Amino acid sequence: MTTATVTSKGQVTIPASVRAALGISTGDRLDFVEMDNGQFAIIAATKSVQSLKGLIRKPAQPVSIDDMNAAIEAKGASAQ
């Protein structure tokens, strides 16, 4: 287990092995996400919003509101 010490200013030096595993370097941002069990996960926030462009594909053809409502009705009826 890798450990670090918090300074009087609340700063922590992230060990080199952890930086390498997260793929982070000087100037990168980190997100601290609280988990259900009271622990925190550290996630490298290294991607910009622009780099996410195209991640979600558009549907092959547009879907009308009527088609969506029909699909919801059909799914709702089969769930009962």
Please indicate, yes or no, if residue 7 is contained in any of the structural domains.
no
Please indicate, yes or no, if residue 37 is contained in any of the structural domains.
yes
Please say if the pLDDT value at position 9 is more than 90.
Answer: yes
Please indicate, yes or no, if residue 54 is contained in any of the structural domains.
yes
Closest to 33 measured CA to CA, from 46, 42, 44, 24: 42
Domain span at residue 67 reads: 16-79
Please indicate, yes or no, if residue 11 is contained in any of the structural domains.
no
The pTM assigned to this predicted structure is 0.50
Q: Which residues contact 24 (CB under 8 A, 6 or more apart)?
A: 14, 30, 44, 46
Please indicate, yes or no, if residue 2 is contained in any of the structural domains.
no
Please indicate, yes or no, if residue 49 is contained in any of the structural domains.
yes
Q: What was the pLDDT predicted at 42?
A: 86
- What backbone torsions phi and psi does residue 31 show, to the nearest 5 degrees? -105, 135
pLDDT in tens, 18-64: 889 888 888 888 889 999 888 998 888 876 667 767 777 766 788 89
Domain count across the chain: 1
Q: What was the pLDDT predicted at 79?
A: 61
Please indicate, yes or no, if residue 31 is contained in any of the structural domains.
yes
Beta strand 30-34 with 40-44 is antiparallel
